[in-house]
Structure 1
Amino acid sequence: MFMNVKAQIREPEVMELLEYAVFPEPEQVETAVQSYESHDEYELYAYDDKELLVGLIGFEDRGEGLYIRHISVLPENRRKGYGRGMILELMLERNPELIIAETDEEGVDFYRSIGFMVFSMGEVYPGVERFRCEYEVEQADEEEQ
C-alpha cells in the first residue's frame, strides 16, 4: 500500500529509509527531515508491503512537474520493482506531465530502465558528476476514451 508518511517522518523505519536515500552521508538525514518538516509543499510517501515499509519517495510539485527529492528501497527488497512501483503510483495519483530527478552515476541505470531520459549536469560537486533524469508522462488522448 502506498501511503503518506510525512507525519511519521521521525519514526525509526521512516528514518532508516531516508538514510538509505542520502547514503553515504548519514549526517544529511536530519537536514532532509527538517526540510520535509519546514516545507508544506514537500510530500513523503512510503510503500508498505505486509506491514513493513520497504520503500520511500519524497517529492514536490514544482509546476513544471513532480521533482523527486528522495527515493529508497530497503537493500533486501531491491530489484523487486518497488522503486518503479512508487514512481508508477505517483503517476497514477498525481497525473503529472513530467517527473524529474537528480542522481549520481549509481542511480542512472535505475531511472533509464524505467524510461527516463538522462542528461549529465557535469561535475556539480568536486569530483562528483550529477545527472538530471526526466520522464515525460504520456497523457491519454481524450478522443480515444
Structure 2
Amino acid sequence: MIDLKEYHETEVSYLLAECMWPDNERIFQELNKYKADDSRKLYGRFMNNELIGLIGLIHLSTKEVELKHIAIRTDYRRQGIGRDMINEYIKKNEINKMIAETHEDAVNFYRNIGFEIMSLGEKYPGVERFQCILQG
C-alpha cells in the first residue's frame, strides 16, 4: 500500500466519495484532516498504475485504530482487496484492535472478516448504524 497524503487529490476524492456522503466540501475537509493530522493515515492499493482502493485510519493509540474510510473501485469489488488491505495494515503495524462504524449494507463485509458487530441503533433518522470491532 502507498501513502496517499500527497497523492493526486482527484483520484483520492473519487474513492472517498464511494464511502462517504458525496459532498465535495466534506470530502475536501476529510482530505485536509488526513494531511494535517499525523494520527490519521491514508493508504491506497494500486493495480496497473491505477488507484483501486483506499483505507483511512485514525490511530487512537500505538496498537488501536479506528477504520474511518474504506473504498474499493466498483469494478474491483468482491475480490478480497478491502480485506487484504485491512489485514496488511494490522500485520504491518502490529494492531491489537480495530474499530469501525458502518451501515447495514456493509455490515456483512466486516462480519465476514472477523469483526464483532454491535448495533448502535438508529443513529440518524431511519438509519441503523453498527459498531464493528476486530481484536487481534
Flag as ranges the 4+ runs of structure 1 deviating above 4 A: none
* Distance in 1 between residues matched to 2:81 and 2:23, nearest whole Å: 22
Q: In the alignment, what sits opposite 2:133?
A: 134
1:15 is paired with a residue whose SS is: helix
2:90 is paired with a residue whose SS is: helix
Of 18, 22, 25, 1:25 maps to 22
Of 38, 52, 57, 1:40 maps to 38
2:45 is paired with a residue whose SS is: strand
Cα root mean square deviation, aligned: 1.4
Q: In the alignment, what sits opposite 1:59?
A: 57
Unaligned runs of 5+ in 2: none
Q: In the alignment, what sits opposite 1:142?
A: none
* Distance in 1 between residues matched to 2:5 and 2:35, nearest whole Å: 8
Alignment deviations for residues 27-57 of structure 1 (CA, whole Å, 9 cap, x no partner):
4312312222332211100011121111000
* Distance in 2 between residues matched to 1:26 and 1:20, nearest whole Å: 11
2:105 is paired with a residue whose SS is: helix
CA-CA distance at 1:89 after TM superposition: 0.9
Matches for 1:66-85 after TM superposition, within 5 Å: 66-85=65-84
Q: In the alignment, what sits opposite 1:115?
A: 114
- Provide the aligned length of Structure 1 versus Structure 2: 134
TM-score (norm 1): 0.86
CA-CA distance at 1:134 after TM superposition: 0.5
TM-score (norm 2): 0.91
1:106 is paired with a residue whose SS is: coil
